């Protein structure tokens, strides 16, 4: 596989990393520390496992069966939603203000379903909404932004959308630049940026890549996400510095790796699937490489979706009762 000169694939290093909300705050599981497990290896590359976080489960009391926390800003405000999306169980968005015990509903006006996926430090939130709640869970998706309670749809202007259309905004920085993706008629994802202030769109691409999702952006303009690697067909994570230098991120030995969040220190977070199909949260930094971070109540079912500049993580896991629970992990 030929690669561009500014494209690099980074191997993991063997260094463990050391380093809130709406109703009544539902703490369905006590705060706990992650357990330490032995590091796995792939050739000379290794992935470390962290025991340096305290975990708190956070579920909206309106639905204790399905919650996902998707973003956290530096103030500690959290974005997420409840509802599985099954027929009669629609996604309903919310934000959790810092130092609060109230879940504040946030849903696109007139929508049937809404997910709040990202937020910045200036009160701007992004996400996507749907006019459908089909039993097949094949629904239209439309990106949106909310600036001071003023909602607008922000779909990438493509001439070849999927049917029904799929367009999602997933992250936003303090310059009010959001990132997301749309799906084309062939089923490929295309990453893009959306400048909320000007209303202009730009693309997030890489040479030779046909399917790419932009999931998060920091204040430098560094974008994290995942793509179909044209060399081997695997799903790999990536970080693209200032929309120029593209770095492939693949957890050693993983079946797939997806980056879902990035902070201003280029700490990337996400989820990977191991050979047995188990899901594990991870963090990655340019200095320390990959570290597995699993919620101790959801080993093998953990996804990390957001990270702030204090190193706090949010995500979700599957508990012993089969419920999907949101969580906050604090270093």
Report pLDDT for 8: 36
Q: Above pLDDT 90, what percent of the chain?
A: 83
Q: Which residues of 267-279 are buried (b: 16+ CB within 10 A; e: fewer)?
A: bbbbbbbbeeeeb
Q: Is the pLDDT of residue 37 over 80?
A: no
* Residue showing tokens 């001439």: 159
What DSSP state is assigned to residue 276?
T
Which residues, 6+ apart, have CB-to-CB distance to 149 below 8 Å?
none
Q: Report the phi/psi class of residue 23: left, alpha or beta, with left for phi > 0 and alpha for psi in -120 to 50.
A: left
Residue range 55-83: mean pLDDT, rounded: 98
Residue range 264-276: mean pLDDT, rounded: 97
Alpha carbon of 124 to those of 62, 170, 222: distances in Å? Answer: 24, 12, 19
For the chain, the structural domain boundaries read: 7-330
Give the fold, CATH level 3, of 7-330.
Neuraminidase (2.120.10)
Q: Is the pLDDT of residue 205 over 80?
A: yes
Question: Is beta strand 7-10 parallel, antiparallel or unpaired with respect to 78-82?
Answer: unpaired
Residue range 267-294: mean pLDDT, rounded: 97
Inter-residue contact 292 to 36 (CB < 8 Å): no
Q: What is the pTM for the complete model shown? A: 0.87
Instruction: State how far Cα 150 lies from the chain centre.
Output: 24
Report pLDDT for 303: 98
Q: Which residues of 85-115 are buried (b: 16+ CB within 10 A; e: fewer)?
A: beeeebbbbbbbbeebeebebbbbeebbbbb
Report pLDDT for 4: 31
Report pLDDT for 46: 63
227 φ/ψ angles, rounded to the nearest 5 degrees: -155, 165
Cα gap 156→201, rounded to integer Å: 7
Residue among 165, 108, 122, 113 at smallest CA distance from 141: 165
Report pLDDT for 208: 97
Residue range 262-275: mean pLDDT, rounded: 98
Q: Is the pLDDT of residue 116 over 50?
A: yes
Confidence grade of residue 183 (pLDDT, cut at 50, 70, 90): very high
Cα gap 69→129, rounded to integer Å: 16
Residue among 243, 304, 307 at smallest CA distance from 279: 304
- Under DSSP, is residue 264 helix (H, G, I), strand (E, B) or coil? coil
Q: Above pLDDT 70, what percent of the chain?
A: 86
pLDDT (tens digit per residue) in 138-168 = 999 999 999 999 999 999 999 999 999 999 9
Cα gap 237→230, rounded to integer Å: 13
Report pLDDT for 220: 97
Report pLDDT for 47: 78
Inter-residue contact 142 to 132 (CB < 8 Å): no
Least confident of 48-57, 75-84, 138-147, 306-315: 48-57
pLDDT (tens digit per residue) in 217-259 = 999 999 999 999 999 999 999 999 987 899 999 999 999 999 9
Which residues, 6+ apart, have CB-to-CB distance to 63 below 8 Å?
82, 83, 92
| Mean pLDDT across the chain | 88
């Amino acid at each position: 596989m030929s690669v561009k000169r500014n494209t690099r694939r980074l191997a993991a290093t063997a260094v463990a990393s050391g380093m809130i909300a709406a109703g009544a705050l539902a703490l369905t599981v006590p705060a706990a520390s992650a357990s330490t497990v032995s590091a796995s290896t792939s050739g000379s590359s290794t992935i470390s496992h962290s025991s340096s976080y305290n975990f708190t489960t956070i579920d909206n009391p309106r639905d204790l069966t399905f919650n996902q926390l998707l973003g956290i800003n530096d103030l500690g405000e959290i974005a997420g939603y409840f509802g599985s999306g099954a027929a009669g169980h629609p996604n309903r968005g919310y934000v959790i203000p810092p130092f609060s015990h109230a879940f504040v509903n946030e849903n696109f006006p007139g929508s049937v379903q809404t997910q709040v996926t990202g937020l910045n430090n200036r009160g701007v939130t992004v996400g996507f909404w749907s006019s459908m709640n089909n039993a097949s869970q094949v629904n239209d998706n439309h990106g949106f932004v909310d600036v001071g309670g003023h909602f607008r749809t922000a779909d990438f202007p493509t001439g070849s959308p999927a049917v029904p259309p799929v367009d999602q905004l997933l992250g936003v920085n303090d310059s009010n630049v959001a990132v997301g993706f749309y799906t084309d008629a062939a089923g490929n994802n295309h990453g893009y940026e959306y400048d909320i202030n000007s209303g202009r769109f730009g693309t997030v691409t890489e040479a030779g890549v046909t399917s790419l999702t932009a999931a998060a952006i920091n204040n430098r303009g560094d974008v994290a996400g995942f793509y179909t690697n044209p060399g081997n067909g695997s799903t790999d994570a990536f970080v693209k510095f200032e929309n120029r230098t593209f770095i492939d991120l693949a957890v050693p030995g993983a079946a797939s790796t997806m980056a879902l969040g990035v902070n201003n220190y280029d700490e990337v977070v996400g989820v990977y699937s191991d050979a047995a199909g188990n899901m594990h949260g991870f963090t990655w930094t340019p200095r320390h490489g990959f570290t597995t971070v699993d919620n101790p109540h959801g080993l093998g079912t953990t996804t990390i979706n957001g990270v702030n500049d204090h190193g706090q993580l949010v995500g979700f896991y599957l508990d012993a009762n089969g419920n999907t629970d949101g969580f906050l992990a604090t270093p």
